[in-house]
Structure formats: structure tokens, C-alpha cells
Structure 1
Amino acid sequence: MSDWTEKLPAAARRYLEGRRLDEVECIISDLPGIARGKAMPASKFAKQGRFYLPNSIFFQTITGDWAQAAGEGGYTEPDMILTPDYTTATAAPWTADWTLQVIHDAALQNGEPVPMAPRNVLKRVVEFYHKRGWKPVVAPEMEFYLVARNIDPAHEIEPMMGRSGRPAAARQAYSMSAVDEYGPVIDDIYDFAEAQGFEIDGITQEGGAGQVEINLRHGDPVRLADEIFYFKRLIREAALRHDCFATFMAKPIEGEPGSAMHVHHSVTDMETGQNIFSGPDGEETDAFRHFIGGLQTYMPAGIALLAPYVNSYRRYVKDHAAPINLAWGRDNRTTGIRVPIAEPEARRVENRLAGMDCNPYLGIAASLACGYLGLVEKIEPTAEYIGDAYDAEEEVPRGLFSALDLFDASEELQELLHPDFARVYSIVKQAEYDEFLQVISPWEREHLLLNV
């Protein structure tokens, strides 16, 4: 083995034990969370410590079109410098040969971090915490659907066929029998995760037909975002092995619950290691309240990152397993901000607004940024909501267009994330929305063709 392989995490070294590495995938996340980069022979990777990609990958919409977001310099597509973060090296166990994936850090040619790169956005927010002596901790939950293969976009998405020969059934939350229906897919997810060195805290059946939730252990925000970035590809590959698709759309099937990326937050003191949400006697602290206050105050402006597509807003439906406001409550799953039952040292705040379609780096960054602003501005939350929060007033933007207006108006949030990132993100999302408006839906043809 060459010297660089000695820098690999233990799981990657175990994966390669007694084998010859064939290929390395050098990747970064674009704005939607798609892996972009280059694959090269391992022998070539060993000879170079960096490679280059044009910055235009951050100007591309989800459809593959290009937004006019290049800035004053014009659309010249200058190269970024990408260097490997060896701590992220992990197997690609679904490939035919022996392949590693390595996430790279993206820098401008002057050495500064590329402000539009989602991983850099999250690192920037985390650094704001560190400068205050705080260490943010997150624990994400991933919901997704296993669905029948869909190769015609004109056809509705349908549940996958289970091993019983019947389509996956809805309304089976926490059913072990329902999970068994697609057990072979789950088995491959476990196997792939083990090969990649990822620890799954639990897998459960959710309420939708073929809807699954995977919980991850709490830890460093950047590391957990890296894992979700990897997990999305891992899960898709496991599904393809069994003649089905995995989808992370926020609302893939009409009438079924949407898929969320709930994020649990806590903050520790970097010197003492103590959870700042709990006092010496286990009581709730000012910091605990202020974090919630920050989420309530700034989350409307951050929704554009937590719900990044037109489909995302179909999830926020009253009485349908997704929040419609920013109420907070203890052990109350109808609120947008939930405080789970926990011992004082594990006291945390769960943000239930993010959809699973968000870029994990950007979704976690936005949520942490809102909580940070609450901490530094000492924002008091509203009174705890008691009862069914679906009876309260709606506070979530009803669509992407209004969400972007709120995002554009929030100088505080944009400064934390980075003004250049905020500018590019907004332009790209506006371009996507314009693309969407050119598509005529079946609903319009059914109800407007002959009636208006």
C-alpha cells in the first residue's frame, strides 16, 4: 500500500485488506446534494494531492440547466482546487471492482474556501459556534420511500412490491412485518453501511407505503452531514439491486405522509464538555430557551434551505405527520420544534421542519444558524404549546417563491451562511422555479382544459 492509504479510516483499511484498490472517486456535493467529481485509477490518485473542477457546478439547477449566478466576473468557469479529506474515505461496496469514495474540500485559487460549496457553508456555521466556545452536536433521522421502478415521469409513483407479492402497505408505522416485506433491501443497506464504517442507530417502518426511517448516532455536524450525503447514494444502490427505487422526495406519493430529515440539536461547552441546555441541577437553561427562540424567529427565512423544491411544500399539510408552524412543545410530535424526553445531560431540541430532499449540509447549517442567532441575541421563545399544534396558526411558507423572499430579506442568516452563497443559492432556486412554471400538470389539463 502507498503512503496515502495509511491516512484512511479504519473501516476503509479493513475493506481493502488483502485486496488491490482499483479506483478512487473524488467527490464534492453540489447545491442539491448530488455527488460531483472525477473517478480515476488508484495509481493516478496516489500521484496527485489535488485536482480541479469548474465553479459552475454550483450554478446548475436540479434539471441540469444553468442559472445566471456567476457574478461580476462573468461566466468564465474558473477552476476550484479540490484536496482530499482522507477522514471521509469510505468504500463503494456496490461497485464491480474495489473502489473508494473520498470527499474533497473546495478552495478558490487564492486558498480561501469556496463560499458556495455546501460543506464549506456548514463548516462556516460550526466555526461561529467554536468561536463562542460552543460545540454543536446533531443527530439526524432519515425518512425515505422504497417504490416500484418508475421509468415514465407521466406515471404516478407506486409502492414497491414486497416479498409476499403484494405492494407495500401504508398505515403500518413501526410494524416489523412491514419491514420484513423489503428485508433484502434493508439487509443490503446494513451490509453497505458496515463496509463504509457507518453506525445505524435503528431502522423503523414509517406510516407511508414503503416508507422507512433510519436514525443515526449523535455527533459532529460535518461528519453526520457527510454520512447522510453518503447514505443517500448507498440506499439508492441497495434498492436498485432489488428492482426498486429509493426516493428522498419530500412528497413522492399522493395521499401518503412526506419524508422528513428531523435533526436533534444540543450544544456543549468546549472546555467542560457540559450540555449548555442543562444547568447544575438538571434544570433547563437560558441557552435552551434562546436556541428555541432562534429557531422560531429565523426558521421562516431558513425554510428555503430545508424545503428546497416546489414538491417540498406538499409535505406541510395539516394532520399529515409534518409540522405547519413553529410552535414548540415537550414530547409533542405535532409541533415544528419538539423537546424529546431525555436526561438532563442529553437534553436536546428536535427541528422537525427539514424535508429529506434537502442537501444535508445546507439543512443542518440553516438549522444550526437559526439556533446560533437565538443564543447570541438571547431570543425568548413563545410559551410552550400544549395540545394539538395543528390547531394553531400556520407559520410555514406555502411555497418556494415566498420562502425565497423571506430568505433574501434575512441579512442575519445570509451573513452566517455567507453572502456569496446566499446570492448564488437564491438565483439557482429562482431559476428552478421558473423552469417548473413552464410545465403544465395533469391537474391543470383535467380541471382547466374545458372549464375555464
Structure 2
Amino acid sequence: MEFLDKLPQAALDFMDGRKLDEVECIVADLSGIARGKAMPAMKFEKQKHFYLPNSIFLQSINGDWVEDADAPFTEPDMVLVPDFETATAAPWTADCTLQVIHDVLDQSGQMVPVAPRNVLKRVVQLYHEQGWDPIVAPEMEFFLVAKNTDPNQPVEPPIGRTGRRAAQRQAYSMSAVDEYGPIIDDIYDFAEAQGLEIDGILQEGGAGQIEMNLRHGDPVKLADEMFYFKRLIREAALRHDCFATFMAKPIQDEPGSAMHIHHSVVDINTGENIFSNPDGSESEAFLHFIAGLQNHLASTIAIHAPYVNSYRRYVRDFAAPINLEWGRDNRTTGLRVPISGPEARRIENRLPGMDVNPYLSIAASLACGYLGLMERREPRAEYVGDAYDSAEGIPETLASALDLLEGATQMQEVLGKDFVRVYTTVKRAENEAYLQVISPWEREHLLLNV
């Protein structure tokens, strides 16, 4: 098979002389769900073109199809082009299977503007045109939970190796991590088979909540890895009769799960971090980037908090920011400057939840920083103290967040007007579907009392 010469070494190592049985051709939809098709490896070798209908970007999280007035009703096919650099194993399958992320083009060869990976590439290209290379380092938080087959029942922590449910509020406890050590072992094994690097794993503050850190690097490559990691982690959990969930707030009275994004920018010609001056002090660019986040993040909260459940995470004094303040080594601020040397100076955006599409959340965060670098404005004064006392807030509902995104003309220019139109259309439909659901709380407290 000729395409085997294009595969990364990790994929070749996984095959280790075995016959390749199947190739999964995948793309991420607006929710970050893997869409595509699987085919025998021999057919993948012979097929010259791969197609999917453009309607995959008009499907909501609940499976409904949303109408877009600007989209043709004929559902024309998009052309999928394999990016062989992304080829990686699917080590949980019974046979020898590879996954390949595909670029999404229209039939004239242009990038489809609503495809999430293309949205991120568009923003990265804006940086490149200025001679900059954006660098990101994402953090992944998620819960391991007992199998929940009845949506009417609350989610519970899993049973650990001691026979007890995972303990809450045991942040950084090695014993808590050991409770579900076999799942962690499979995560490590799957990641190694896929050629994915994990920087570290720790117990977070919630019962059964884990944080996994990834090394810093290229935004598109890191988003690809997070896309793969979500599937990998779910498969590892299923092997041990539990679920892995990336919901922002899956368990009542527990902390939510975040996807913090660390940002820095380097000069393409020199390789130097533009956030630091030659003498090691903070540069003007660093402050401009922070200002961009402060001035534009509110308009992108609908991307960083994409579901109604996302807003349950933004709770005062509950390990999640509720403001757009910035501070040095201050975890009460939405924007935190971690302790580092000049070469690693960076800003951490703590607003995104783990329920995001990684391509879109990274793109939106970078877009805010880009606008700040171009506008060259100063941020508000550093917040010293408990930023939960700050009056500077963020949208409290998905509907209000979508209003801000629809009114943000500068952000639409950066992310693409077509993308924003389709995204807000889909999210409005999801919000309306949610409003039709009557919750147990309403039945308990309103049915006989009002």
C-alpha cells in the first residue's frame, strides 16, 4: 500500500508488520464528535476521493438537523483529504485499525469555513501573516463515573479497587488516583500506541475527577490530540465497566471540568517568546494579548461554554472563574499568569470547560489574543486578592452568550462569518430543545406547590 510510506512512525510501530485491516476516515463536527466512515484498508488504498455531506455541520448534539437558510437543501458532498500526519492507531479494536483525520474542502478545492479544524487553521494563519507562531498547552479535566444507563438518575462516582466509591475533595492524592489505576494504565498504553504524549496525570478536586496535562506545541496538532484523547479515554473507561465524561458539570455539588489553555507566542524568525523583552521583563505584546482576552472573551463564551450545562460550572468559590480579571499566580481570576521564566512566559485562559470542541475553543481563545495584539490596548490593572469579589462577569446563560457572539463583528471577521452563522443557528436550536424539557427539580418543587 503506497500510503503506508506517508504514515508517522508511531502508526507503523503499531502495525509492526501486521496486515492493516481497516481505516477510519474522520472529521470533527461542531460538537467535537468524530464523524466519518470506516472502510477496508484495500478500499482506502484504491479510493481516489472521500466524501461527506455538508449537513454534518448542521447536526445538533441531540441529533436533530438544523435548517440554515444559506445552505443548499440538496446537501452537497464535501471532499475529504486525508492528513496522513494525523494517522494513528485505534488500539482498542479487535483488528488492526488506523484513524486518519481529514481536511474538509468544498468541490472547488476551498476550505469549508464551518469545519472546526479549518476555523482553527484560519486563526493560526492570521498569526503567521504577522510573523508569529502561536503556542498552546491545554489541560484536560474529566470524570470517571459509574455507568449511567438511565438519564433520569443522577451520575455517581465509580467504584474503585477498594470496593468504595471514589472519594471527593482529595485533590493531588496518589491514593485516589490508584483507586482507578487500571484505567489510567490503559490510558497510558493507548496513548503510547497512538504516539500521543502525556505530560502528567493527577487527581482533581471532584470524586473520580482527573486532570491530564499535555505538552505545549502547535495549536492544530494539540487540538488533533485532544480530539483523539477524548475517544481514547472513553474507550479505556469502558474496558473497566465505567464511563468517562467530559460534561462541564456532571455531578451535583462537585466541581466542574475545565479545559484551561496556556498561551504564548513566538517570533517565527527568531524563535523568541514575544511576551518577554530581551532583559526578561514582560513585553508590551504580553499585556496587549491579555487585553485582547479581557476585551473579547465575553463574546466567545458561547464557544468556551457551548451547552446549557456549561454554565453550571461558573459558580462562585467552586474552582471555576466567573470573571475576566487577570493576575499572577491567582487561580480566582479568569486569566492567570503562571510562575515561569521569561522564555516560558504565558497566560492561562481558565474559562473554557472540558465539554468544548477543542478546535473551536483554542481558535476562539487565540482570536481574542490576536485582536489584542492588533489593537495594542492596555489591560485593566492586575487583580490582587480574591477575584470572586470582582463585579466583572461573563454571560450566565447560553442564550445571552449567543447574543454577544452574534453582535461581535470583529470576532466574526477573525473566526469567519459563515462559521458564526452556522454555529449560532445550531446552538439556538439546542437551547430551544432544552427549554422543552421539564426537569426533576421542577416536578419536585413546582408540581404541587405553585
Query: TM-score of the superposition, structure 2-length normalised?
Result: 0.99
Q: Match of 1:13, as an amino acid?
A: L
Superposed CA deviations along residues 116-137 of structure 1, whole A, max 9, x for unmatched, are: 1000000000000000000000
- Residue 257, structure 1, aligned to residue 266, structure 2: no
1:4-403 counterparts in 2 under 5 A? Answer: 4-69=3-68, 71-403=69-401
Superposed CA deviations along residues 339-394 of structure 1, whole A, max 9, x for unmatched, are: 00000000000000000000000000000000000000112101000011111114
Q: Match of 1:124, as an amino acid?
A: R
Alpha-carbon distance in structure 2 between the residues aligned to 1:244 and 1:426: 33
* SS, match of residue 70 in structure 2: coil
Alpha-carbon distance in structure 2 between the residues aligned to 1:408 and 1:439: 25
Q: Match of 2:51, as an amino acid?
A: Y
Q: Match of 1:430, as an amino acid?
A: R
Alpha-carbon distance in structure 2 between the residues aligned to 1:20 and 1:112: 35
1:446 is displaced (CA, Å) by: 1.0
Alpha-carbon distance in structure 2 between the residues aligned to 1:431 and 1:369: 25
* SS, match of residue 137 in structure 1: strand
1:67 is displaced (CA, Å) by: 1.1
1:73 is displaced (CA, Å) by: 4.9
Corresponding pairs, count: 450
Give unpaired runs (5+ residues) of structure 1: none
% same residue: 72
Superposed CA deviations along residues 152-187 of structure 1, whole A, max 9, x for unmatched, are: 000000000000000001010000000000000000
Alpha-carbon distance in structure 2 between the residues aligned to 1:310 and 1:67: 18
- Native 8 Å contact 2:325 2:392 kept in 1: no
Alpha-carbon distance in structure 1 between the residues aligned to 2:229 and 2:309: 22
1:18 is displaced (CA, Å) by: 1.7
Q: Match of 2:27, as an amino acid?
A: I
* SS, match of residue 352 in structure 2: coil
Superposed CA deviations along residues 267-305 of structure 1, whole A, max 9, x for unmatched, are: 000000000000000010010000000000000001000
Q: Paired residue for 1:442, among 433, 440, 443?
A: 440
Alpha-carbon distance in structure 2 between the residues aligned to 1:237 and 1:401: 33
* SS, match of residue 203 in structure 1: strand
* SS, match of residue 412 in structure 2: helix
- Native 8 Å contact 2:80 2:102 kept in 1: yes
Q: Paired residue for 1:426, among 407, 424, 427?
A: 424
* SS, match of residue 146 in structure 1: strand
* SS, match of residue 105 in structure 1: strand
* SS, match of residue 200 in structure 1: coil
Alpha-carbon distance in structure 2 between the residues aligned to 1:25 and 1:260: 29
Superposed CA deviations along residues 84-124 of structure 1, whole A, max 9, x for unmatched, are: 00000000000000000000000011111001100000000
- Native 8 Å contact 1:49 1:84 kept in 2: no
Alpha-carbon distance in structure 1 between the residues aligned to 2:20 and 2:377: 52
Superposed CA deviations along residues 172-207 of structure 1, whole A, max 9, x for unmatched, are: 000000000000000000000000001100000000
- Native 8 Å contact 2:303 2:364 kept in 1: yes
Alpha-carbon distance in structure 1 between the residues aligned to 2:102 and 2:244: 26
Superposed CA deviations along residues 373-432 of structure 1, whole A, max 9, x for unmatched, are: 000011210100001111111411101000000000001111111100000000000000
Give unpaired runs (5+ residues) of structure 2: none
Superposed CA deviations along residues 138-161 of structure 1, whole A, max 9, x for unmatched, are: 000000000000000000000000
Runs of 4+ with >6 A deviation:
none
Alpha-carbon distance in structure 2 between the residues aligned to 1:41 and 1:319: 52
Superposed CA deviations along residues 223-246 of structure 1, whole A, max 9, x for unmatched, are: 000000000000000000000000
Alpha-carbon distance in structure 1 between the residues aligned to 2:17 and 2:422: 46
Query: TM-score of the superposition, structure 1-length normalised?
Result: 0.99
Alpha-carbon distance in structure 2 between the residues aligned to 1:40 and 1:150: 31
Q: Match of 2:192, as an amino acid?
A: E
Alpha-carbon distance in structure 2 between the residues aligned to 1:73 and 1:165: 53
* SS, match of residue 106 in structure 1: strand
Which position in structure 2 is the counterpart of 1:415?
Answer: 413
Alpha-carbon distance in structure 2 between the residues aligned to 1:444 and 1:75: 39
- Native 8 Å contact 1:118 1:362 kept in 2: yes
Alpha-carbon distance in structure 2 between the residues aligned to 1:141 and 1:72: 36
